[in-house]
Structure formats: structure tokens, C-alpha cells
């Protein structure tokens, strides 16, 4: 009799030995066996999200089959299903991966020159706290670090300012260097690529430029949105990308928005960027913010009780860099005042900071409220799915105004409108922009609403 729970325990024990804690938590902690069919030998396994599913199918199935064979002498057929993923992050599912043109080349370990540019020692997987807003991105980064060049290539991480995109990207670099110290890892800001390219033209050193970028094992390009509208650079990057991709070298990019939202990014780059995986990081919830602060406090040997951590975390809700800044500020205040850190001290230290971002700038929720009132409908309907004209038009106008009057990305707006796709928002924005020119009712409504929102 094959007891799946006992077997699962046995398999997990084996895997715990093989994987470090971060990887173990990512792939096994929330993965559970569901059922085993002794006729068909299908072993159903529930995983949390598509990244985990992909990783299991590609990298862990064989080990599972072997383990089951060793344990009970049966050949199981693993079948994966995604269960209850409440995550708010978006995962843009890859198009079928096009096969690289050339055969995988033997990695050149010897004589490889190390080009470990400015990786921050602190940006490792161990120091990265996983939470709702980043767990898909973290899983994808771990998967890429595990099988560079073959799993999700390129990996495109996008999201707002200070949410850990650079941290995750560099963690992949650290892991590669830990496993292959001679690997050539190139980490750059996209502006560096631009400057290097321009200098190489000026100094007639294009060969060296190409050598630097086209022969690395891992290319990490931060903030790729700065390639917007730079045609020559895009052309050069396209060739860099092609060479690396065809050699099955891993490419990881970050951006504050999706490739389709980067102005004048060439079609062929947009399409290549979608070959792999695009995954979003969204702002951390309170629990994750507390966990991040706790980790930082431990690293600095600071003793801070839970209620104080809770207080600091509640003051900064969108940007982890600012959250860290708040902790430094509290720490400095304690040193100057020669006092222990507690809630009162934290309150004093942060009093002068206008840290709570949610009151800054116009919020999408405010736009929804004003638009709903104007059209005598409700925010509930604006976020809903009804396709009748009396609701569709206000909804599209609200989306258009959210795009015009806030810094929010299309995915973020989609999310605020009941989890709609960014293409729906894009369509609404295009449509209203056109109709303002041709339909005087729409024009008047948008004009009035803008006046109302202009506090």
C-alpha cells in the first residue's frame, strides 16, 4: 500500500538535504501531494503558482519519480495543478520558447575573465524576504539562478521604485558566482550600456565593447526603460541579446514597466523580451514589511520589539528603500538621544517625515469615486465586468484619467479596476484619447472631471 503522505515526508527529507533553505522554501514548502491513482499511477501534486509548476515539471519531476521508485518500487506519473494562488503579482506567461539556433556550447570555465561589476554583497537570496508581492518574481529568479540560460530566458522583472528588482537580479549573479567563481557576470545600469556604446564609437573600440557584452555568461541589465527612444542603442542591444540568447547565456532585465509600455521600444526587442518570462513585483503588505525590517534589524544587531517594528512598517507602505531609510532614521535618533528603541522614540524620529505615501498625489480610488459620482454609477460597477455602455464609458474614462493624472503603470491601473489586464487599460486609454477629438460629450466629461480632480 503506497501512502502518499509518508512518501511525501520521505521525499521532502531527501530534498531538504539537497537544497539550501531559500530554495527549499520556494519549491517545497507550499507544494502538497493531492492524490495517487493506483490504476494509472498518476500522482497529483498541488503547487502554488505557474513558476513553481514550471520548475517542478522541468527540474524536480525526475527526482520525484526516482525517489518514488526507490521508496515503493512504483513508477509514478507526476501531474501538477495550481491551487488557490491569491497573489496579486502578475505573471505574463511566456510564448512558447523558441529553440536557440545553435546547439548548446560547452561552457568555458577556464581562463574566463571574471567581470563581477559592482554586485552589492547584501543583495543575495538569503537576505531577500519573500512575501505576497514578490514571491513569483523571487521564484522565477531562483529558477533562473538554478538553471541559467535554459529556464526563463530572458527574465524580465518589472515593478515600482524600490521594491527589490535590483536586489533579486543581483542575487542571481551572486548565486552563479558562488557556483562557478570563474563565470563572467556583467551587471550594468542601462545607462552604462548607452555610455559604453557611445564611447566605443568615439574611441573606435567597438570590438572591445562587443567582447565585453557578447561573451558573458550572465548579463544583468537594470532599468531597461532608459532604452526608450534610443534607436541606435536598441539596435546594438538587439545584437547583444541575439548572440547571448543563441549561446544559451542568461539575460535578466529590470524595468519600471512592461516592455510594451516602454516608449518606442522596437518591435523586435519587445517580442524578444517576451520569449522568456515577465514577472511583476508589487508593493509589500504589512506583514512582509515587518519581516524585512526584522531581518535588517537583526543584521545590524538592533534590538527592536514587535510593536515598534509594526509601527515603523505602518509608516512606509510602498517603497522598501524608504522603509530602510525609516529604520536608519530611528536608529540614528536612538543613538543621538542615548535611548532604547521603542514606539515613542520611533514616533518622534519619524514625525517630521512625510512618509506615508498613500496621501501623496492623486489616488486611483479618488478618480474612481469622482468619476462614479459624475456618471451616477458606483465604483463597484467601474471595477466590475458589465459591458453596458452606461458603465463601459465611465470605466474607460476613469482608466484614462488614472493614466493621465497618476504615475501608475498600466498593470497597476488594471489591478485597481478589479484585476483587469493591462491591454484592457491600454485599449481604454487609446479609445478615450481618440474620442476626445471626435465626441464632444466625452470631451466635456473629461474636461469637467479634470477640473474636479484638480484640487
Ligand X SMILES: Nc1ncnc2c1ncn2[C@@H]1O[C@H](COP(=O)(O)OP(=O)(O)OP(=O)(O)O)[C@@H](O)[C@H]1O
Q: In what order do the strands lie in the sheet with 42-47?
A: 32-36, 42-47, 77-82
Residue with smaller CB distance to ligand X, 59 or 189: 189
Residue with smaller CB distance to ligand X, 166 or 315: 166
Residue with smaller CB distance to ligand X, 255 or 379: 255
Binding string, residues 255-274; x marks residues near ligand X by CB under 6 A: -x------------------
159 is known to lie in a ligand binding site: no
Q: Is 370 in the site for ligand X (CB under 6 A)?
A: no
Euclidean distance between CA atoms 324 and 339, whole angstroms: 20
Q: Is 167 in the site for ligand X (CB under 6 A)?
A: yes
Part of the chain binding ligand X (CB under 6 A), chosen from 14-22, 99-107, 157-165, 363-371: 157-165
Q: Minimum distance between the CB of residue 269 and ligand X, rounded to whole angstroms?
A: 20
256 Cβ neighbours under 8 A, 6+ residues apart: 158, 159, 160, 161, 223, 225, 409
Considering only residues 67, 153, 166, 368, which one is a binding residue for ligand X as defined by CB under 6 A? 166
Binding string, residues 123-142; x marks residues near ligand X by CB under 6 A: x---xxx----x--------
Work out the burial of residue 184: count CB atoms within 10 Å of its CB; fewer than 13 is exposed, 13-18 middle, 19 or more buried: buried
Q: Minimum distance between the CB of residue 183 and ligand X, rounded to whole angstroms?
A: 21
Q: Specify the long-range contacts of residues 326-329, CB closer than 8 Å, at least 24 apart.
A: 326/350, 326/353, 326/355, 327/293, 327/296, 327/297, 327/302, 329/353
Q: Minimum distance between the CB of residue 409 and ligand X, rounded to whole angstroms?
A: 12
| Helix locations, 110-186, DSSP H | 135-146, 165-179
54 is known to lie in a ligand binding site: no
Residue with smaller CB distance to ligand X, 128 or 311: 128
Q: Is 165 in the site for ligand X (CB under 6 A)?
A: yes
Provide the 10 A C-beta neighbour count for residue 400.
Answer: 25
Considering only residues 47, 60, 265, 292, which one is a binding residue for ligand X as defined by CB under 6 A? 292
Closest CA to 325 of 354, 303, 368: 354
Q: Please identify which residue in the block is written with the cell numbers 525609516.
A: 326
242 Cβ neighbours under 8 A, 6+ residues apart: none
Distance of CA 150 to the CA centre of its chain: 19
3-state secondary structure of 317: coil
- Sites for ligand X among residues 215-254 (CB under 6 A): 223, 254
Q: Is 158 in the site for ligand X (CB under 6 A)?
A: no
Considering only residues 95, 268, 321, 450, which one is a binding residue for ligand X as defined by CB under 6 A? 321
By beta-carbon distance, which residue lies closest to ligand X?
164
Q: Minimum distance between the CB of residue 167 and ligand X, rounded to whole angstroms?
A: 4
Part of the chain binding ligand X (CB under 6 A), chosen from 261-269, 320-328, 373-381, 393-401: 320-328
282 is known to lie in a ligand binding site: no
Considering only residues 139, 162, 276, 283, which one is a binding residue for ligand X as defined by CB under 6 A? 162
Part of the chain binding ligand X (CB under 6 A), chosen from 162-170, 269-277, 300-308, 338-346: 162-170
Q: Minimum distance between the CB of residue 245 and ligand X, rounded to whole angstroms?
A: 23
Q: Is 324 in the site for ligand X (CB under 6 A)?
A: yes
DSSP H or E stretch at residue 42: strand 42-47
Q: Is 161 in the site for ligand X (CB under 6 A)?
A: yes
Q: Please identify which residue in the block is written with the cell numbers 459624475.
A: 374
276 is known to lie in a ligand binding site: no
Residues 429-440: b if buried by 16+ CB within 10 A, e if exposed = bebbeebbeeee
Q: Is 190 in the site for ligand X (CB under 6 A)?
A: no
Q: Is 196 in the site for ligand X (CB under 6 A)?
A: no
Euclidean distance between CA atoms 158 and 259, whole angstroms: 9
Strands 250-255 and 155-159: parallel
Q: Minimum distance between the CB of residue 298 and ligand X, rounded to whole angstroms?
A: 12
Q: Minimum distance between the CB of residue 308 and ligand X, rounded to whole angstroms?
A: 18
Q: What's the start-to-end Cα distance of the chain, in Å?
A: 71
Calculated CA dihedral for residues 207, 211, 212, 215, nearest 10 degrees:
160
Q: Is 28 in the site for ligand X (CB under 6 A)?
A: no
Euclidean distance between CA atoms 357 and 37, whole angstroms: 52
Residue stretches of the annotated binding site for ATP: 162, 164-166
Binding site for ligand X (CB under 6 A): 123, 127-129, 134, 161-167, 223, 254, 256, 292, 320-321, 324
Residue stretches of the annotated binding site: 162, 164-166
Amino acid at each position: 500500500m503506497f501512502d502518499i503522505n509518508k512518501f511525501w515526508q520521505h521525499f521532502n527529507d531527501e530534498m531538504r538535504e539537497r537544497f539550501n533553505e531559500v530554495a527549499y522554501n520556494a519549491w517545497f514548502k507550499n507544494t502538497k501531494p493531492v492524490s495517487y491513482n493506483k490504476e494509472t499511477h498518476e500522482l497529483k501534486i498541488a503547487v502554488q503558482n505557474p513558476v513553481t509548476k514550471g520548475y517542478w515539471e522541468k527540474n524536480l519531476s525526475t527526482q520525484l519519480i526516482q525517489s518514488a521508485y526507490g521508496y515503493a518500487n512504483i513508477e509514478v506519473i507526476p501531474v501538477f495543478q495550481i491551487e488557490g494562488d491569491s497573489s496579486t503579482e502578475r505573471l505574463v506567461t511566456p510564448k512558447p520558447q523558441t529553440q536557440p539556433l545553435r546547439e548548446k556550447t560547452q561552457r568555458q570555465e577556464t581562463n574566463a575573465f571574471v567581470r563581477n561589476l559592482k554586485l552589492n554583497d547584501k543583495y543575495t537570496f538569503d537576505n531577500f524576504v519573500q512575501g505576497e508581492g514578490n514571491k513569483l518574481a523571487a521564484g522565477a529568479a531562483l529558477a533562473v539562478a538554478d538553471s541559467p540560460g535554459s529556464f526563463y530566458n530572458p527574465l524580465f522583472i518589472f515593478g515600482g521604485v524600490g521594491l527589490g528588482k535590483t536586489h533579486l537580479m543581483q542575487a542571481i549573479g551572486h548565486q552563479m558566482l558562488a557556483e562557478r567563481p570563474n563565470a563572467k557576470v556583467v551587471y550594468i545600469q542601462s545607462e552604462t550600456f548607452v555610455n559604453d556604446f557611445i564611447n566605443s564609437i568615439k574611441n573606435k573600440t567597438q570590438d572591445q565593447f562587443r567582447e565585453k557584452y557578447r561573451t558573458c555568461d550572465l548579463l544583468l541589465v537594470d532599468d531597461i526603460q532608459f532604452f526608450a527612444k534610443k534607436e541606435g542603442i536598441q539596435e546594438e542591444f538587439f545584437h547583444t541579446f541575439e548572440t547571448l540568447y543563441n549561446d544559451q547565456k542568461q539575460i535578466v532585465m529590470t524595468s519600471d514597466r512592461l516592455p510594451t509600455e516602454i516608449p518606442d521600444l522596437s518591435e523586435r526587442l519587445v517580442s524578444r523580451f517576451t520569449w522568456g518570462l515577465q514577472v511583476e513585483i508589487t508593493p509589500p503588505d504589512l506583514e512582509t514589511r515587518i519581516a524585512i525590517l526584522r531581518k535588517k534589524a537583526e543584521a545590524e544587531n538592533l534590538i527592536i520589539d514587535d510593536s515598534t517594528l509594526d509601527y515603523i512598517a505602518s509608516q512606509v507602505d510602498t517603497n522598501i528603500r524608504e522603509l530602510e531609510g525609516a529604520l536608519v532614521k530611528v536608529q540614528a535618533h536612538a543613538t543621538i538621544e542615548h535611548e532604547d528603541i521603542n514606539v515613542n522614540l520611533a514616533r518622534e524620529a519619524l514625525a517630521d517625515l512625510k512618509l506615508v505615501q498613500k496621501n501623496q498625489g492623486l489616488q486611483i480610488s479618488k478618480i474612481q469615486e469622482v468619476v462614479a459620482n459624475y456618471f451616477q454609477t458606483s465604483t463597484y460597477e467601474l471595477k466590475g465586468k458589465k459591458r453596458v455602455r452606461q458603465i463601459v464609458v465611465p470605466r474607460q474614462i476613469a482608466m484614462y484619467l488614472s493614466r493621465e493624472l497618476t504615475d501608475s503603470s498600466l498593470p497597476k491601473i488594471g489591478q485597481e479596476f478589479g484585476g483587469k489586464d493591462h491591454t484592457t487599460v491600454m485599449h481604454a486609454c487609446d479609445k478615450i484619447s481618440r474620442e476626445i477629438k471626435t465626441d464632444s460629450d466625452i470631451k466635456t466629461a473629461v474636461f469637467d472631471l479634470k477640473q474636479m480632480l484638480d484640487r
